[in-house]
Every structure is written in C-alpha cells, then in structure tokens.
Amino acid sequence: MTSAPRELLGPHRLVLDVRDRPGPAPLRFERADGGRLLLRQEERPLLLGRPVGGPCCPDLYVHRLDGHRSPLPPLSAAMLRSSVNWPHQYARWLDEADGTPLHDGRWELSLRTTFQPGIWTEDFLREWPGGRLELYCGGGWHGVVPLRPLSPPDAGRVKAYRKHVREGTLAPVLVWWVPFLDGWLILDGHDRAVAALAEGRTPQCVVLTRVCDEELWRRDAEAVTEGHRHHMERLTARPATPATSRQRAAMEQNYGDVMAGLSYDPSDIRSWPLPGGAPAWDALAGAAMFQFPSD
C-alpha cells in the first residue's frame, strides 16, 4: 500500500489523494433492493438499515452489531497532553490502517469544533442496537451514529477522559461524513465523545469527508466559468455606471470564491452491491432479530 499524497489546506485541514485502492473499501456501504443498506468492515456486518414509511418521507431504521474496530491506535495520556496536530496525525494513521473507508479518491480531514444545536443531543443515536433516523422528506437527518455501545459517564475510562476535557487536552473524535444520511458515523473516540458531553461540552471532531475528484470539479468549474462569462457579457452590454461597476466587482468576487471552493466540495461516497442481494440482507437481519415497524 503506497502512502497517499497530501494537500495541505491550513494548520488543521488537509486532503489525502488516495490512489491504487480501487475498492471495495475495507469499511464500506453495500446496497440491495428495497433501500436495504449494510455497513461492513472487511467481512463483519456492522449496521443494517432499511427505509420505512411512504416513498416521499421514509425514516431509516437501523440496527447495529458488535465488532467495529477503530482504525486508530489507542491514545496514551502522554500523547493526549502533547502538542500533536490531530488532523495530520489521524491522516497518517488512516493512511496506514486497515478497516478504513479509504479508497481511490480525495479525502479531506479537518478539525471541527462547533456543530448546529441538536446534533449531539436529540440527534445523537445513544440507544443500542436499534434506532430511527428521521430523514425529513429527503432533506437528511444531520446527527451522529455510534458504531459501538456507549459507555456510561461514570465508567473508569470515561472519567479519565473527563479530566482531559477539563484540562483542554482531550483528542478529538474521528467522525466520517455520510452524505446520504446527512450525518456522521463515529470511527474512533466513543468514550471521548461521552466524556465531553458529560462535562457539558460539544465534542471536538476531526471530520473525514470524501471530496470531489479532479475530473468532477474540473467539469463543474467549466460550467461555472461559462455561466460567469455569460453574465459578465450581459453586464458589459449595459451603460457603465457606478452601480454596474459595483455589480461587476461583486460578481468577480463571487466567481473567485466559488472557484476556490469547488475542488473541496463534499462528494457522495461510493457504495457497492451487497453480495447475495436482498435475500442475503434478509438473512442477516433475521439472524440479528432485526424487525422493522410495518409500513
């Protein structure tokens, strides 16, 4: 496995350009008919999901299974108190680890310290193993899904992490942005998330996001450039006034801002066909005693 080239975007943000890993990814989503969804880590099923409800506004019911393995090594107290740059450190570990979502493409890792209200409260899927994600008529869910049972706030490890929260030395949680859920999966740091929440804090996170490949963003850039050229030609045909000058400057600024961000726009993540299709999913669900509400 070759190391992925890195593009540095700031002190706490970078992109891994993963090559020669065509997939399927070790940690991957697989799909079958009827909206059946499976998250698998290598050969271990971790999460089963299926939409329930009308065709316009279904909810996604999920059932998780034990067996998730973090792609990161254990963190020592000395490392937590060091001055390590966590997005860069997590990138190195992910690049070398098994059981990750990485496959060919560009993957951003960035530090995130704030979230919209509700994401780590009512939309944090604390119950185990089942749960319901309210997808709001295709508008997403925007919450956080743990991949293992959460420890209680007074568990020994959590209590140790709570001390790091108070000291400001707690390592961020590693989460994976999943666009079709409009939410995140916790890949590492379940106990750290519990510790931060127990101390009344929002967990700091390093977010792993699949971003646009070069071919896609260049195609989008061509479309944006063509639209900008058309609007500028129409503006040039008008009489020159202070108002049109201000409008031209605003359009140029907007064009520059859009172009600068295009190559880092989030991209849909890839999923693979579920071997055996719907019958294989149904067998897994039956073995897990996974029952959905009736439509």
Residues 6+ apart with CB under 8 A from 147: 39, 46, 47, 64, 68, 185, 186, 187, 190
Q: Counting beta carbons within 10 angstroms of the beta carbon of residue 251, is it exposed (0 to 12), middle (13 to 18) or buried (19 or more)?
A: middle
> Is 221 exposed, middle or buried, given 0-12, 13-18 or 19+ CB atoms closer than 10 A?
middle
- Taking alpha carbons only, the member of 88, 103, 104 closest to residue 174 is 88
pLDDT for residue 134: 84
Q: Running along the chain, 295 residues long, what does each successive block of 10 average in pLDDT? A: 81 94 95 96 96 78 96 95 96 96 96 96 95 73 94 97 97 96 96 98 97 62 55 70 71 55 70 97 86 47
Q: Are 251 and 231 in contact (CB under 8 A)?
A: yes
| pLDDT for the residue 273 | 97
Order of strands across the sheet with 36-41? 130-134, 59-64, 44-52, 36-41, 27-32, 271-273
The per-residue pLDDT for range 88-106, each reduced to its tens digit, is 999 999 999 999 999 999 9
Helical H segments across the chain, by residue range:
77-80, 86-96, 156-167, 190-198, 214-236, 242-262, 277-287
Question: Among 145, 165, 140, which Cα is nearest to 153's?
Answer: 165
- Looking at residue 219, what is its pLDDT? 54
How far is the first Cα of the chain from the last one, in angstroms, to the nearest whole number? Answer: 46
